[in-house]
Amino acid sequence: VRHLEEPYNYLITDGVFSQNIGYSSNIDLGFEHQTADGRFVNSVYDGVNIRGKYRYSIDSTRQITATEVYYRTKGGMTGGDLPYKITADIFNPAYTPLVRSQTANLTYLQHHLQVAYSQGDPHDSTNVMTATAFFDFYSFQFGDVSLPYYLTNLSRRFGVNLRGSESVVGTRLNFGAEALRDETYYNSQADIPPRDRVSAYADEEFSLFNFVRAGVFGRGDLVGSKFYPALGASFGLGNETFSLEAGGSISSHTPSMSQMYFVTQDFRGNPNLVAETDKILQVKMDANFGSWFSLFVKPYARMIDKPIYYSADYSGQPIYPAISVANLSTRDIYGVDVMMRVTLWKFTAEGNFNYVSEKTDGNLVYTLPKYFASGELYYHDILFTGHLNIKFGLRGKVLSTFRGNDFYPQALIYVPTDINEFGPFGSTDFFVRGRVGDAVIYFTIFNITGQNYVMAPVYPALDNSFSLGINWEFLN
């Protein structure tokens, strides 16, 4: 059982039960309930997740599984504070801001059903073939009685896939294929064609003396009558202490059904969208010197031709902007990710640093912070003759100036915006994690210095607040 409490009556309760049934069968059941009163008007939230899995072992190498996941959320959708009303007042807990909607609500439902058959190699347990049939159902209902306005969107996806792996000394081959159909209905639009996709992929990894590594992969997607290939390769040298690896890939990303056909008061899909072409180059360096020091560095370049891009028009200061989606010419993203960990005695410092530079059609954009750093400094020890495993310390983050993405609840999308500019800012949390017997207890004080900041326009981050959670295995 897991239980978590956070500000404004945000509660999560989650339970998992697993039981063998005889010698060859097993059943897993899970349940999760999330509720929240919300910080502002029209922020009440309620979510339920129910999941189950049945396993039947035919023999030591063959198994059948059936899985069902049900997910339902409902609640108010404020849309955040109005984007042109940002003042210091929005950070005052006693202040009631002017939200975009005091009456909008959303109910979202998902069903995921899978039945799978897997067969292993009696001589090598890592070689497994699995065939799966699946069915996914989505229901999206958005309403606002003040407009009046109502959306009902239904979609389903079903198909079969096959995946497998084979290992020979020094090499490993992974392969698979899938056939699926997407069917979507937006506000009873009868003219939306279903989309069929057939895919196949294979990747092979080579290793020589556990020092030289190489890999190649290929994938093909037939979407309707159009074929989209993808290729990639990597090469690396090193061992567990120090390694270098370089790689690159080229692939395509087809527009989603909602990007092409979804229609609301403020957004209309674009059926003329074409697939993006995505090229990625990256180099990775990984160094590990025992348990006391590790360093990971990854510079990368991502170049997208015909990127699918959302645009927002705020002219006239509307409640929601007019949103359009189209293919631009180019989108280039260059960056570097750095991760480092240092441990001295029972103290550990962990840090992450990210640099991102993004250009769209040759123009610099600041949707994301150009610089982002986060880290932890904590003490970890086992006390009271092994009865208390405790970890406590500080966690923080620092961001440079950025503009963010405006959340559009009627389509559950984020749209780049240039209305406001946020940052730079930083915040610090204090956390404690302790294990006593079969229970793990979490306690966090967020934003201990009470910094005022915004991560997404316009949802002011919480000031000084705390959360308390427990994860308890009470029967095994």
CA distance 424 to 217: 41
| DSSP annotation string for 58-127 | SSSSEEEEEEEEEEEEEEE----B-TT---GGGG-TT----BS-SSEEEEEEEEEEEEEEEEEETTEEEE
Quick check: 72 pLDDT over 80? yes
CB neighbours of residue 422 within 10 Å: 20
**Average confidence score pLDDT of the chain:** 92
Give the structural domain span for 16: 2-472
User: Residue 379 corresponds to which tokens in the numbers above?
Assistant: 């003490």
> How many folded domains does the chain comprise?
1
Q: How many residues does the chain have?
A: 476
Quick check: 475 pLDDT over 90? no
Q: Which of 233, 331, 234 is nearest to 277 (CA)?
A: 331
Residue at token pair 């392969």: 175
Q: Per the omega criterion (within 30 degrees of 0), is the bond before 336 cis?
A: no
327 falls in which pLDDT band (50, 70, 90)? very high
Query: Which pLDDT tens digit goes with each residue over 195-236?
Result: 999 999 999 999 988 899 999 999 999 999 999 999 999 999
Beta bridge partners of 447: none
Q: Which of 438, 453, 445, 351 is nearest to 6 (CA)?
A: 445
Q: Which of 459, 460, 462, 470 is nearest to 445 (CA)?
A: 462
Query: Which pLDDT tens digit goes with each residue over 241-285?
Result: 999 999 999 999 999 999 999 888 889 899 999 999 999 999 999
Per-residue pLDDT, 425:
92
Per-residue pLDDT, 9:
93
CB neighbours of residue 61 within 10 Å: 15
Query: Which pLDDT tens digit goes with each residue over 154-166?
Result: 999 999 999 999 9
Q: Which of 214, 226, 285 is nearest to 254 (CA)?
A: 226
Query: Which pLDDT tens digit goes with each residue over 217-227?
Result: 999 999 999 99
65 falls in which pLDDT band (50, 70, 90)? very high
* CATH number of the structural domain spanning residue 105: 2.40.170.20
CA distance 286 to 298: 9
Beta bridge partners of 152: 141
User: Residue 77 corresponds to which tokens in the numbers above?
Assistant: 């959708």
Task: Read off the DSSP letter of residue 265.
Answer: S
